[in-house]
Amino acid sequence: MNRFLLLTAALLCGCSTVLETGDTLERAITPPDGVNYAVTRPEGGFRLDVSDGRFASKVELLAVRKSRTRGGFTQVQFDLRNTSFLRQTANFGFEWIDAAGSVTEGQSGWSPTPLEPGQITTVTATALRSDSAECRLRILAR
Protein backbone atom coordinates (compact mmCIF):
# COMPACT_ATOMS: atom_id res chain seq x y z
CA MET A 1 0.00 0.00 0.00
CA ASN A 2 2.85 2.38 0.86
CA ARG A 3 4.45 1.72 -2.52
CA PHE A 4 1.17 2.63 -4.25
CA LEU A 5 0.86 5.90 -2.32
CA LEU A 6 4.51 6.73 -2.95
CA LEU A 7 4.16 6.01 -6.67
CA THR A 8 0.95 8.07 -6.88
CA ALA A 9 2.57 11.01 -5.07
CA ALA A 10 5.61 10.84 -7.35
CA LEU A 11 3.42 10.81 -10.46
CA LEU A 12 1.30 13.72 -9.24
CA CYS A 13 4.36 15.79 -8.32
CA GLY A 14 5.91 15.03 -11.69
CA CYS A 15 2.77 16.10 -13.55
CA SER A 16 2.52 19.40 -11.71
CA THR A 17 5.97 20.50 -12.85
CA VAL A 18 5.30 19.92 -16.56
CA LEU A 19 3.21 23.07 -17.00
CA GLU A 20 5.24 25.75 -15.25
CA THR A 21 4.54 28.84 -17.36
CA GLY A 22 1.92 30.10 -19.75
CA ASP A 23 4.38 29.63 -22.61
CA THR A 24 4.81 25.97 -21.72
CA LEU A 25 1.07 25.59 -21.41
CA GLU A 26 0.49 27.12 -24.85
CA ARG A 27 3.05 24.79 -26.43
CA ALA A 28 1.53 21.79 -24.66
CA ILE A 29 -1.99 22.56 -25.87
CA THR A 30 -1.13 23.94 -29.31
CA PRO A 31 0.85 21.64 -31.57
CA PRO A 32 3.53 23.53 -33.53
CA ASP A 33 1.87 22.46 -36.76
CA GLY A 34 -1.53 23.85 -35.70
CA VAL A 35 -0.99 27.38 -37.03
CA ASN A 36 -2.16 28.25 -40.55
CA TYR A 37 -0.63 31.15 -42.47
CA ALA A 38 -1.83 33.45 -45.25
CA VAL A 39 0.99 35.53 -46.72
CA THR A 40 0.57 38.44 -49.12
CA ARG A 41 2.72 38.47 -52.25
CA PRO A 42 4.54 41.43 -53.83
CA GLU A 43 2.95 40.70 -57.22
CA GLY A 44 -0.52 40.56 -55.64
CA GLY A 45 -2.66 37.83 -54.20
CA PHE A 46 -1.66 35.55 -51.36
CA ARG A 47 -0.15 32.19 -50.50
CA LEU A 48 -1.68 29.77 -48.00
CA ASP A 49 0.35 27.53 -45.72
CA VAL A 50 -2.18 25.14 -44.17
CA SER A 51 -1.00 23.08 -41.21
CA ASP A 52 -4.31 22.37 -39.48
CA GLY A 53 -6.49 20.81 -42.16
CA ARG A 54 -9.44 20.31 -39.78
CA PHE A 55 -9.78 24.05 -39.21
CA ALA A 56 -8.92 24.94 -42.82
CA SER A 57 -11.83 22.81 -44.02
CA LYS A 58 -14.20 24.95 -41.90
CA VAL A 59 -12.87 28.44 -42.62
CA GLU A 60 -12.20 29.71 -46.14
CA LEU A 61 -9.98 32.66 -47.07
CA LEU A 62 -11.93 34.50 -49.77
CA ALA A 63 -9.80 37.51 -50.61
CA VAL A 64 -6.86 39.63 -49.53
CA ARG A 65 -6.58 43.34 -50.26
CA LYS A 66 -3.36 45.29 -49.80
CA SER A 67 -3.07 49.06 -49.99
CA ARG A 68 -1.06 52.02 -48.70
CA THR A 69 -2.33 54.53 -46.18
CA ARG A 70 -1.83 58.27 -46.74
CA GLY A 71 1.19 58.09 -44.46
CA GLY A 72 2.80 55.41 -46.66
CA PHE A 73 2.17 52.40 -44.41
CA THR A 74 0.97 49.07 -45.76
CA GLN A 75 -2.55 47.99 -44.81
CA VAL A 76 -4.10 44.58 -45.48
CA GLN A 77 -7.60 43.15 -45.22
CA PHE A 78 -8.30 39.42 -45.12
CA ASP A 79 -11.85 38.21 -45.83
CA LEU A 80 -12.67 34.89 -44.16
CA ARG A 81 -15.88 32.87 -44.23
CA ASN A 82 -17.01 30.21 -41.80
CA THR A 83 -18.17 27.40 -44.11
CA SER A 84 -19.22 25.05 -41.32
CA PHE A 85 -22.61 24.80 -39.61
CA LEU A 86 -21.09 25.53 -36.20
CA ARG A 87 -19.59 28.64 -34.64
CA GLN A 88 -15.80 28.69 -34.89
CA THR A 89 -13.35 30.75 -32.88
CA ALA A 90 -10.13 31.75 -34.57
CA ASN A 91 -7.12 33.42 -33.01
CA PHE A 92 -5.36 35.87 -35.30
CA GLY A 93 -1.89 37.34 -35.20
CA PHE A 94 0.15 39.35 -37.70
CA GLU A 95 3.77 39.48 -38.76
CA TRP A 96 5.08 42.13 -41.14
CA ILE A 97 7.86 41.39 -43.61
CA ASP A 98 10.14 43.77 -45.51
CA ALA A 99 11.06 43.47 -49.20
CA ALA A 100 14.09 41.30 -48.33
CA GLY A 101 11.90 38.75 -46.51
CA SER A 102 12.90 39.63 -42.93
CA VAL A 103 10.28 40.06 -40.22
CA THR A 104 10.12 43.75 -39.31
CA GLU A 105 7.39 43.63 -36.68
CA GLY A 106 5.06 41.14 -35.11
CA GLN A 107 2.14 40.84 -32.80
CA SER A 108 3.07 39.04 -29.60
CA GLY A 109 -0.39 37.78 -28.63
CA TRP A 110 -3.45 36.35 -30.30
CA SER A 111 -6.72 38.18 -31.04
CA PRO A 112 -9.65 35.76 -30.60
CA THR A 113 -12.48 36.30 -33.08
CA PRO A 114 -15.77 34.37 -33.17
CA LEU A 115 -16.97 33.30 -36.62
CA GLU A 116 -20.67 32.54 -36.88
CA PRO A 117 -21.86 29.90 -39.42
CA GLY A 118 -21.81 31.35 -42.94
CA GLN A 119 -20.48 34.70 -41.71
CA ILE A 120 -17.86 36.63 -43.64
CA THR A 121 -15.40 38.41 -41.38
CA THR A 122 -12.81 40.98 -42.44
CA VAL A 123 -9.59 41.08 -40.45
CA THR A 124 -7.61 44.30 -40.96
CA ALA A 125 -4.04 45.16 -40.01
CA THR A 126 -1.87 48.22 -40.61
CA ALA A 127 1.91 48.15 -40.43
CA LEU A 128 3.63 50.46 -37.98
CA ARG A 129 6.83 50.74 -40.02
CA SER A 130 7.13 52.10 -43.53
CA ASP A 131 9.56 49.35 -44.61
CA SER A 132 6.96 46.64 -43.88
CA ALA A 133 5.85 45.50 -47.33
CA GLU A 134 4.09 42.15 -46.88
CA CYS A 135 1.91 40.65 -44.17
CA ARG A 136 1.71 37.16 -42.73
CA LEU A 137 -1.63 36.40 -41.06
CA ARG A 138 -1.34 33.67 -38.44
CA ILE A 139 -4.56 31.72 -37.81
CA LEU A 140 -4.96 29.33 -34.91
CA ALA A 141 -8.14 27.41 -34.15
CA ARG A 142 -9.33 27.66 -30.61
List the chain domain ranges: 1-30, 33-141
Question: Smallest Cα–Cα separation from 123: which of 61, 77, 58?
Answer: 77
Q: How many residues are listed for the chain in this entry?
A: 142
Q: What are the b/e assignments for 57-84, b being 16+ CB within 10 Å? A: ebbebeebebeeeeeebbebebebbbee
- CATH number for the domain running over 33-141: 2.60.40.3230
Q: pLDDT tens digit string along 121-142?
A: 999 999 999 999 999 999 987 7
Cβ contact 121:24 at 8 Å: no
The per-residue pLDDT for range 47-97, each reduced to its tens digit, is 998 888 888 888 999 999 999 999 999 999 999 999 999 999 889 999 999
Rounded to 10 degrees, what is the CA torsion of 82, 31, 24, 102?
-80
